[in-house]
Structure 1
Amino acid sequence: MAIAAADAADRVDQLIILTERLTDLIAAQAQAFEQHRPQDAAAGMDEISRLANLYRHESARVKADPTLIAGVTPAARAALVRATEAFDAVLARQGRAVEAARTVTEGLVKCIADEVAAQRTQGSTYSASGAQTAPGAATAITLNKRA
């Protein structure tokens, strides 16, 4: 999918609208991660993916052919630059929020795994002679309903 623009000014206006919409969606997603509500961040993923793909495609087109936005007013060009700078800042914010969420999640998983391992090795067993036996290695149990 590509932007269908009548002229350079129309293309720049549409790029600004696209960039601002994508910035708003990613800011909301970053806020959800910052508030420890990743389930809320997942709500807009389809639209974010679609718009991010369009943004990537259009940015590549403009980079490959700068004449697509040639001749626009300096004010329109400045507005596009501001929208792009805001988008970059929100992407950096989202990156920090996602990294923090990943770190917390990995920490929780490690704590749970360590606790499970500690619980498994706490039990002591004794042989018939009263000597303490070494704990066995943790093993998985598979149940077969056909047996």
Structure 2
Amino acid sequence: MTLMAKDPSDLVDQLTMLTRRLADLAERQAALFEASRFLEAQNLNEESARLANVYALESRRIAQEPHMFEDVPAELKAKLTTETRRFKAAMEAHERALNRQRALAEGLVRAIAEEAVAARPNPVAYGPGAQARRDTSAIALDRRA
């Protein structure tokens, strides 16, 4: 889906609104991630994905036809530039929030796995006093997960 504009100025107006909405969504999701309210953040995913697809399509179209904006008033271009900077900053904050939560989750999983390993008895299979223990299965921790 692409934007339907009557002229280049209308297209810039629509792009400005689209960019503003994407920035709003990214800022809201970042705040929800920081508050560990993941289910609420997930509710914004569908709209974010739909709008991001439109944004990507329009960005490609503009890259292929940069002359489209030659006759657009400077004030409209300035508004779009301002919203684009805000969107970029919102996406950087979004990424930082995601990385913090991912690191927290990984650390928690690692701590639980290490505690589980430490709580298990060491099997003694050979030597004096050796006896077979039933619970000698290994615990695997996939660091890439």
State the TM bucket, normalised to the shorter chain: 0.7 to 0.9
For 1:131, the equivalent position in structure 2 comes to 129
Offset of residue 132 of structure 1: 4.8
**Counterpart check, 1:83 vs 2:74:** no
Offset of residue 137 of structure 1: 3.6
Q: Distance in 2 between matches of 1:46 and 1:68?
A: 30
For 2:63, the equivalent position in structure 1 comes to 63
Task: Summarize deviations over 1:42-90 as a string: whole Å, max 9, x none.
Answer: 1110000010111111011111101222211110000000000000000
Q: Distance in 1 between matches of 2:37 and 2:121?
A: 35
Task: Summarize deviations over 1:79-119 as a string: whole Å, max 9, x none.
Answer: 00000000000000001000001000000111111111122
Q: TM-score, normalised by structure 2?
A: 0.85
Q: Distance in 2 between matches of 1:6 and 1:48?
A: 25
Gaps of 5+ in 1: 141-147
Offset of residue 36 of structure 1: 1.7
Larger Rg: 1
The aligned amino acid for 2:14 is Q
The CA RMSD measured in Å over matched residues stands at 2.3
Q: TM-score, normalised by structure 1?
A: 0.84
SS of 2:67 mapped into structure 1: helix
SS of 2:43 mapped into structure 1: helix
